[in-house]
Amino acid sequence: MKLDCSKAADEGFLEDRRDAIERELELVDSQVNEGYGDWRGTVNLPSDDAMLERVRGAEDRLVEPDLVVVCGIGGSNLGTAAVHEAVPERAGAELAFLDTVDPDHTRRVLDRMEEALDDGNEVVVNAVSKSGRTAETLANFKTALHTLESHGSADGSVAVTTSDGSPLWEFADKRGFEKLAIPEKVGGRYSVLSQVGLLPLSLAGVDVEALRQGARKARDRSLELDGPAGRAAAALHDNYERGRSIHDMFVFSKELESLGKWFRQLTAESLGKNGEDGAEGITPLVSVGSVDLHSMQQLYMGGPNNKIHSLISVGSEHSVRIQSVDGLSEGPAEMGQGELMDAIEEGVEETFSEADIPFIEVELENRSEAEVGAFLQHKMIETMVLGRLLGVNAFDQPDVEGYKQATRDILREDGK
């Protein structure tokens, strides 16, 4: 992973913020190899071999699945989906996600489960909820478990990833299902490299050791004061102070759209709150190139200059040649589609530069586990530093309880 902030902010953007960045990076650094007693301890996940061993143990005891159904929402599945979509297809189980309670989507996943079970294939259901109380996840888990058991025993086919002692944990304990514990101070949006992500990803054939290795390398680089996390956070904060409170992650690969959605939660929950000095939060966007040049570019160029973009390019796995066609001289031909995509991205960079629209350039060499792991770890440390610069707590989410309580009240009034 390479990161370039030279088109993102004027000189001095780093100097002005050096003390705050140093302070946060020291706090993060002080947690390395110190377990999970602090919210910053999530940086230990990629080097926590005991945790990986527990995942491997669960894998060994579970059936070898053809299909894994992950019941989880928000931080409990966005990271898993992001890595799974970003990394090229690996030999392993098919992954399906039950996140919200959309009956039509759920029906499709249940049909797929039933088809697999009817064919005599193995299905693993993995329920993921830190609190063990998430309404949608419990609803989906109960339904998926029912489907599993209507085709035979669920023994060896269920794993829960939750806090030790939660209702989900206690249930799994009684039933003899696999249990993986989420430490108290590993928040959902920082949990992709914990058991939350590793169990389903490993079952799907993703090389989780390479993912962790990439994350470890990125951690070491990001803990340097002039490393990518500090620089990017400073550039984002500099733009924030100039009225650019929208951060658009503009990925030039369709396979990275889910990575964008993971970033969206990380930013919205970590930074979408009032800071000590009246800071009001950053709104994340996700754009996909070149599709959104035909959708959002008018706004980006002709609308308010209130956005900073992170342009993410990635080397592709395949190459596809654009054939020339007799009689159709218009349009590109005799080049790779990747070359055209690169030229388009370069064209966007030139156009943004000329219009003084700031952007950070991020280059992933390819979609390998190592590169994706590096990006994830970089982004999480960047977010911690940016939280410090904005004067907000990047680890809480105090304002999400309201609708949950209201929903419970509504259901209670309805006698449910």
Active-site residues: which are they? 269, 294, 404
Smallest separation, CB 155 to a second copy (Å): 15
Distance CA 335, CA 254 (A): 20
In sequence order, what are the beta bridge partners of 387? none
Smallest separation, CB 335 to a second copy (Å): 5
In sequence order, what are the beta bridge partners of 95? 68
Which residues, 281 to 340, sit near a second copy by CB under 8 A? 281-285, 288-291, 293-304, 306-307, 316-325, 327-340
Among 261, 309, 379, 388, interactor with a second copy by CB under 8 A = 261
The Cβ-side half-sphere exposure at 32, using a 13 Å CA radius, reads 12
Site string for a second copy, 195-234 (x = CB under 8 A): ----------------------------------------
Cβ count within 10 A of residue 116: 20
Which residues, 84 to 103, sit near a second copy by CB under 8 A? 88, 99-103
Which residues, 3 to 62, sit near a second copy by CB under 8 A? none
For residues 115 and 224, which CB has a smaller minimum distance to a second copy in the complex? 115
Q: How many residues bind a second copy (CB under 8 A)?
A: 123
For residues 29 and 349, which CB has a smaller minimum distance to a second copy in the complex? 349
17 contacts 237 by C-beta, under 8 angstroms? yes
Smallest separation, CB 269 to a second copy (Å): 4
Element (H, E) at 246: strand 246-251
Distance CA 255, CA 87 (A): 8
In three-state secondary structure terms, 73 is coil
Among 78, 125, 381, 394, interactor with a second copy by CB under 8 A = 78
Backbone angles phi, psi at 132, to 5 degrees: 70, 15
Smallest separation, CB 292 to a second copy (Å): 8
16 contacts 373 by C-beta, under 8 angstroms? no
8 contacts 358 by C-beta, under 8 angstroms? yes
Cβ count within 10 A of residue 291: 12
Question: What does the radius of gyration of the chain's CA atoms come to, in whole angstroms?
Answer: 22
133 contacts 107 by C-beta, under 8 angstroms? no
Candidates 44-52, 218-226, 230-238, 406-414 — which segment interacts with a second copy by CB under 8 A?
Answer: 406-414
Which residues, 101 to 160, sit near a second copy by CB under 8 A? 101-107, 110, 132-139, 142-143, 145-146
Smallest separation, CB 74 to a second copy (Å): 3
Site string for a second copy, 338-377 (x = CB under 8 A): xxxx-xx-xxx-xx--xx-----------x----------
Query: Could you give the angle at the alpha carbon of 90 between the alpha carbons of 338 and 228, nearest 5°?
Result: 60
Site string for a second copy, 178-197 (x = CB under 8 A): ----------x---------
Smallest separation, CB 355 to a second copy (Å): 8
